[in-house]
């Protein structure tokens, strides 16, 4: 998957991070660790930090500096109302695209169509 996966992630990583924060607030490393636990094993920590700067600048998260046992205070990110709206838009867009792509695959390659519960 390699390069193609990287390119697809570029367009969806913001929504993925917002979805991670929808569950509970977290700091940068924690977000990266959660995503790696979810199977995004090649995700680079620096990529997540750069994205967090962007979502903070867009006003999608609230940030609180929390003292750390080791080193400087940590920035803990919490999804705010604007971030939740953005996340809902992400899920609507994702569903629309996923449906269209699957429809296209079924039309052009019916032998490769994914079998869903309704198809069984």
pLDDT bin (cut points 50, 70, 90) of residue 120 is: very low
pLDDT value at residue 113: 54
pLDDT, tens only, 1-43: 567 777 888 889 999 999 999 999 999 999 999 999 999 888 8
pLDDT, tens only, 45-104: 899 999 999 999 999 999 999 998 888 999 999 999 999 999 999 999 999 999 999 999
- The CA distance from 35 to 12, in Å, is 13
- Which residues lie closer than 8 Å to 3 by C-beta, 6 or more apart? none
Global pTM value: 0.83
């Amino acid at each position: 998957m390699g390069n193609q996966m990287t390119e697809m992630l570029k367009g969806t990583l913001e929504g993925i991070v917002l979805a991670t924060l929808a569950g509970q607030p977290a700091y940068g490393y924690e977000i990266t660790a959660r995503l790696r636990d979810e199977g995004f094993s090649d995700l680079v920590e620096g990529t997540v930090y750069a994205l967090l700067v962007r979502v903070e600048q867009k006003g999608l998260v609230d940030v609180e500096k929390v003292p750390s046992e080791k080193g400087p205070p940590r920035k803990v990110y919490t999804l705010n109302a604007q971030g939740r709206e953005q996340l809902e838009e992400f899920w609507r867009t994702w569903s629309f695209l996923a449906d269209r792509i699957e429809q296209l695959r079924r039309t052009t390659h019916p032998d490769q169509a994914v079998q869903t519960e309704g198809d069984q």
